Amino acid sequence: MKAALAGPGGELLHQARRATGRERGPEAVVAGILDFAAELRAYGADRFGEPAGAAGVAVPGIVDAERGVAVYAANLGWRDVPLRTLLGERLGGIPVALGHDVRTGGLAEGRIGAGQGADRFLFVPLGTGIAGAIGIDGRVEAGAHGFAGEIGHVVVRPGGIACPCGQRGCLERFASASAVSQAWAQVCGDPGADAADCAKAVESGDARALAVWQDAVDALADGLVTALTLLDPRVLIIGGGLAEAGETLFTPLRDAVRRRVTFQKLPEIVPAALGDTAGCLGAGLMAWDLLDTAAPPASPASTSTASTAATAATPPEVTT
C-alpha cells in the first residue's frame, strides 16, 4: 500500500508505504487500510496542525464508487467491503471517496500528469495485465457497472492464447509486461528473463528479441486502434512497466498505430509522467474534489479545508 498526505494542488506533503498483509486474509487487509489511514491522519494533525479534511482510497479489482464498496479483488480476496463507510467511521466522519486503482491513476495522469489539460484522453498502463482509464473533461468514465476501460480484454488475436477472463486472444496476453517477459524467457531460454531484458536485447539489435517485441507492439497497436476508433482521444498515455523501455517502445508503437488508422485522427502518444505514485495522487485529487464540492461553506468539512491535507491509500495493482 502507498499512502500520502496531499495538499490542494495534489502535492504530496508526506508519503508512506507498507505491506497489505494479504497473506493473513481480506479482513487483515481491510484492518490494515483503516489503521494506515488513521495513523496518517494523526501524523498530519501533529505535523501540519490540522488533520486531513477528506480521504481518497483507490483499490484494485471491481469497485462500486457510487456506493463506496470494494466489490471484488482477486489478489486481496475480498468481496463487498463497504470501505467508504468503514473509513469514514474510522476517520472521525470526514468525507471519503473510493475509486478503482487504474481509473484513479488515470485521473491524476489526466489532471496533473502526462495528459495535463487534455479534455479527452485514454490512459493505458502495461503491467502485470493491461487496463485503461477513459478521461472525459476532468473525470474518468467508470461505465454503468464499473468495467469501462478494460482494453486488456479486447480480443486482438481471435482463438489465441487463453486468458483468465475466459476469453482467448485478449490484448493483455500479448502486450502486458508479463506477456512480453514470458515470451522473451521462452525464446532466449532464460526463465528469469523479463520484459526489460527483452527491451535491452532489442536495443542491442538481437533479431529474436526484435521479433518478440514487434509481436507485442503489433498486438498493442491493434488494441489501441480499436480504442481510439471508439473514443477519439486527444492524448493516449501509455504507462506501466513496459513503458519504461521509453523510445524502444514508443517509436515502433507510434509507427504501428499510424499504419493502422485510416479516417481516425491520430492522438498524441505519450509516456505516463507520474509512475507508481499516480494512484496515490489520484486518490488525493478525489478527496480534494469532495472538499471543493462540499457545500454550504459553513459545513464542518469545508471550514477546515484551507490548509488541510487528504489521505490516500492504494493497494497494489492487479488485473481483475
Q: Which is nearer to Zn ion, 90 or 153 (CB)?
A: 153
Closest contact distance (angstroms) between CB of 266 and Zn ion is 27
Q: Which is nearer to Zn ion, 163 or 185 (CB)?
A: 163
Closest contact distance (angstroms) between CB of 210 and Zn ion is 26
Place of cell 472538499: 291
Of the CA atoms within 13 Å of residue 86, those in its CB half-sphere come to 19
Q: Which three cell numbers stand for residue 145?
A: 457497472
Closest contact distance (angstroms) between CB of 153 and Zn ion is 4
Each residue 158-187 as x (binds Zn ion by CB under 5 A) or -, in order, gives: -----x-x-x--x-----------------
Among 18, 27, 85, 25, residue whose Cα is nearest residue 57: 85
Pick the stretch among 8-16, 18-26, 150-158, 288-296 that binds Zn ion (CB under 5 A). 150-158
In the three-class reduction of DSSP (H, G, I as helix; E, B as strand; rest coil), residue 76 is classed as: coil
Closest contact distance (angstroms) between CB of 60 and Zn ion is 16
Pick the stretch among 2-10, 136-144, 148-156, 205-213 that binds Zn ion (CB under 5 A). 148-156
Q: Which backbone phi and psi does 5 adopt, to 5 degrees?
A: -100, 125
Q: Which is nearer to Zn ion, 305 or 319 (CB)?
A: 319
Chain length of the chain: 320
Q: Which backbone phi and psi does 62 adopt, to 5 degrees?
A: -105, 130
Name the DSSP letter for residue 168.
B
> Number of H helices and number of E strands within the chain?
10, 13
Cα distances from 268 to residues 24, 121, 148, 228, in angstroms, run: 44, 9, 21, 11
Count residues binding Zn ion (CB under 5 A): 5
Which of 100, 103, 111, 153 binds Zn ion (CB under 5 A)? It is 153
Q: Give the count of beta carbons closer than 10 Å to the beta carbon of residue 11.
A: 13
Closest contact distance (angstroms) between CB of 87 and Zn ion is 31
Q: Which is nearer to Zn ion, 167 or 248 (CB)?
A: 167
Pick the stretch among 29-37, 113-121, 147-155, 211-219 that binds Zn ion (CB under 5 A). 147-155
Q: Which is nearer to Zn ion, 41 or 153 (CB)?
A: 153
Residues lying near Zn ion in the complex (CB under 5 A): 153, 163, 165, 167, 170
